[in-house]
Structure 1
Amino acid sequence: MTVKTPFGADSTASEVIEGIDLGGKRAIVTGANSGIGLETARVLADAGAEVMLAVRDVDAGIRAADEIGGKVAIAHLDLSDQTSVRDFVAGWAGPLDILVDNAGISAIPLTRTPEGWELQFATNHLGHFTLTTGLHEALAMRPGARVVVLSSVANLRSPVVFDDIHYLRREYDPMEAYGQSKTANALFAVGAAGRWAGDGIMVNAVMPGVIRTGIQRYFTEEGFQNLLDNTGRPEGKTIPQGAATTVLVATSPLLDGVTGRYFEDCNEAEPYPGIGPKRGYAPYAVDPELAMRLWYVSQEMLQT
C-alpha cells in the first residue's frame, strides 16, 4: 500500500516535525553546512536531537553550528575520499538514531578520483555506501533507527550502466552521470532495507524537490529553469519546503516500520508514467535485483 500523509509539496520541515520530541536521539547529516542539509540539521536540533554536521568544509560547518545552536557537533567528511569516510566512521562511538545521506554534487564536468572513478558516482553513491554500511552497527544499536538517502527525479535520466559506470568508453554527459548516481542512491535504499530489516533499521530514499542551492553551481540560468519547468513546478521549492520530505521520513511516527520506499512531496512517490511533468521514479531505480547487483558491484569497487 502506498504511504500517504497529511503533508504535501508546500509543507515545511518545521511543520512536519511539529510535536515530535527527539530528546536523547543522535543524528548525522552529511553536507549540513548549507542548503537543505543545514535546514534539516537545524530542525532536528530544534526538536532536541544531538546532531553531527558531517562536512567537507569545517569552517563552514562551524558557522552552521553557530547558526543552529543546541547540541551540535562538527566533523570533517569528504565523501569523494574513501580514507576520509573511513576515518569518520572510525571516529563515531555509540548508537545512532538518524543518518541523513544528504550531501552531493551535480552536473559537474568529467572529473575522476585517484581510483579512476567518475566523481559524481564516487561522491553521491560510493561515499555514502561506505559511510552508511560502516555505521550499520551503530544504527543497529537503536531499534527503529532511520536512514534517509537523498535521491532525485534525475533518476529518470539514467539507470546504473553497469557495463561502464565510470564513463571509460561512453561519452560523458554531466546530467546523465548525475542521474545515474541518483538512481544508485535509490537502489541503495532498497538494498539496505532488505538486508537490515531484521535489525529494525528503516532505510528510505527521498526526492527533496528542485531548490536553488549551491548544488546547481554548474547549471546555466536557462538550464535550471528548464529543470524547474520539466517538474511542473516552475517556481521551485524554498529550502524549508525542500527539507520537509527528508525530515518527515527521518522522524515521523507515521512512517514507523516503513522501509525500502521512495518519497517525494512528503508522500510515497508513484512510478513515472512516461508522460507529463517529471515526477516519481523509474522502475529500474527500485528494482530489488538491480539493488543487489549494485551492492555487490560497490563492494567489489571498494574491496570490502
Structure 2
Amino acid sequence: MNGNRTHDAVPDWTIDRMPELDGATIVVTGGNSGIGLEAARVFAAKGAHVVLAVRDVHKGEDAAAGIGGSTEVRHLDLADLGWVRAFAAGWTGDIRVLVNNAGVMVPPLGYTKDGFELQFGINHLGHFALTNLLLPHVTSRVVTVASSAHRSGTIDFDDLNWATRKYGGGAGGYEQSKLANLLFSLELQRRLTASGSSVLSTAAHPGMASTNLMSSSESAIMTVFATVVVRLFAQDAAAGALPTLFAATAEIPGGSYAGPANKREMAGAPVLVGRSDAAADPLIAARLWAVSEELTGVPYPAVQMASTR
C-alpha cells in the first residue's frame, strides 16, 4: 500500500477487540515512557508477560511498577551494538511479539558507539540487529514503529552518516530513519514469506501523540513545537499507542502499516494506512537490508523460525 490511501479494514478498532494473551511474552523496546509504556500497559492487562527493554533500568523499573500484571525489565542500549548482541545472547524462550518502539527524534548531530549517526543508528540499525538476532525466538509478529515523517525522507546511501550534508536541526535524519523503518519492515516480510515462516512483519505510526519524544530535543524550535502545538492538537499517549496494539494483534496481512484513521492520520482509531512510494519500493528495501547487514554484521538468521518448529 502506498500513496495517501487509508483502508478501513477494521473500522473503530479498540482494545476490546484484542485477544487475551495468556502469559505470552512480548518485548517492547523503549517501554518505559510514551506510547511504548502505554502499549506495555495494555499488553500486560491482556495477560501478557511484558519485557521492557530499556536503556535506563531504573526508569524501566519505575515504569514497570505502575503497569501491573507480569513485567520484567532488561537493559538494552540500541546505540551500542555490543549491548544489542548481549541482550539477544541472554535471551531464552519464545517471544510472541517483538515491538521495535524505542527511538530518538531530532537530537543534535551525534553518533552511536559504533560510529553511526544517532537517529539512523538507534531507530533503524539498532532495531535491525536486534530483530535478526531475536528472530529465531519470535513466534507471531515483529512490529516496527515508524512515523508519517517517512514521507519526506530519502535514503542517501552515499552519506548515511550525514558527513557531507548539512544536518541542520536533525529533521532530515529523523525522516531518513523512519523511512528506513518502513523499508526494513517491508523486506523483513519478504524474507519471512520466502523462508516459509508464519511470523508477520507489520509497522505502525502513532499520528500526533503527546509524548516526551520531541520535548527531549535540544532544538529550541522543536521544544516550542512540542510544548505548544502538540499540546493543542495531539492525542494522548494512550491513543497514540493504539496503532501499535492493532499492528501487534489484529488479523491483518504481513507488510501492513497501521495508523490513525482521521484526516492527515493525526488521530483516531487505528486502521491500515498508505505509505510513500519510496517506502514501498522493494529494490530500495533490499539495498538497505544489504547495507544494514554490512554495517551491523548481523545477517538474516539462516535457522528455522520458532513459529515453524
Give the shorter-chain TM-score range: 0.7 to 0.9
Contact 1:149–1:206 (8 Å) recurs in 2: yes
Q: Which residue in the other structure is 1:184 paired with?
A: 180
Distance 1:188 1:64 in 2: 29
Q: Which residue in the other structure is 2:272 paired with?
A: 268
Distance 2:88 2:246 in 1: 25
Shift of 1:264: 1.1
Contact 1:101–1:148 (8 Å) recurs in 2: yes
Shift of 1:70: 1.2
Distance 1:297 1:268 in 2: 29
1:169 corresponds, among 154, 158, 164, to 164
Q: Which residue in the other structure is 1:42 paired with?
A: 41
1:208 corresponds, among 206, 209, 232, to 206
Report whether the alignment pairs 1:247 with 2:245. yes
Q: Which residue in the other structure is 1:291 paired with?
A: 285
Distance verdict in 2 for CA 1:297–1:5, change over 3 Å: same
Partner amino acid, structure 2, of 1:261: S
Report whether the alignment pairs 1:7 with 2:12. yes
Report whether the alignment pairs 1:238 with 2:268. no
Distance 1:44 1:153 in 2: 24
Shift of 1:226: 9.0
Distance verdict in 2 for CA 1:185–1:19, change over 3 Å: closer
Shift of 1:212: 2.0
Partner amino acid, structure 2, of 1:5: V
Q: Which residue in the other structure is 1:273 paired with?
A: none
Q: Which residue in the other structure is 1:115 paired with?
A: 114
Shift of 1:24: 3.2
Shift of 1:196: 0.8
Shift of 1:251: 1.2
Q: Which residue in the other structure is 1:89 paired with?
A: 88
SS at match of 2:144: strand
The 5 A counterparts of 1:52-71 are 52-71=51-70
In structure 1, the gaps of 5 or more residues are 9-14, 271-280
SS at match of 1:203: strand
Structure 1 vs Structure 2 CA RMSD: 1.9
Contact 2:81–2:114 (8 Å) recurs in 1: no
Partner amino acid, structure 2, of 1:99: L
Q: Which residue in the other structure is 1:223 paired with?
A: 225
Shift of 1:182: 0.3
Q: Which residue in the other structure is 1:79 paired with?
A: 78
Shift of 1:16: 2.4
Q: Which residue in the other structure is 1:11 paired with?
A: none
Contact 1:17–1:248 (8 Å) recurs in 2: no
Query: What per-residue deviation string (whole Å, max 9, x for no partner) do you get for residues 63-106 of structure 1?
Result: 11111121111100011110111111111101111110000000
Distance 1:19 1:293 in 2: 35
Shift of 1:20: 1.7
Q: Which residue in the other structure is 1:199 paired with?
A: 197
Contact 1:7–1:16 (8 Å) recurs in 2: no
Contact 2:79–2:113 (8 Å) recurs in 1: no
Distance 2:273 2:227 in 1: 23
- Farther off after superposition, 98-107 or 160-169: 160-169
Distance verdict in 2 for CA 1:19–1:76, change over 3 Å: closer
SS at match of 2:64: helix
SS at match of 1:282: coil
Query: What per-residue deviation string (whole Å, max 9, x for no partner) do you get for residues 229-257 of structure 1?
Result: xxxx96111111100000011012x32xx
In structure 2, the gaps of 5 or more residues are 2-6, 261-269, 299-309
Distance 1:227 1:85 in 2: 35
Shift of 1:136: 1.0
Q: Which residue in the other structure is 1:302 paired with?
A: 296
SS at match of 2:202: strand
Shift of 1:222: 4.0
Distance 2:288 2:228 in 1: 31
SS at match of 1:155: helix
Contact 2:246–2:258 (8 Å) recurs in 1: no
Partner amino acid, structure 2, of 1:201: V
2:276 corresponds, among 257, 277, 282, to 282
Q: Which residue in the other structure is 1:276 paired with?
A: none
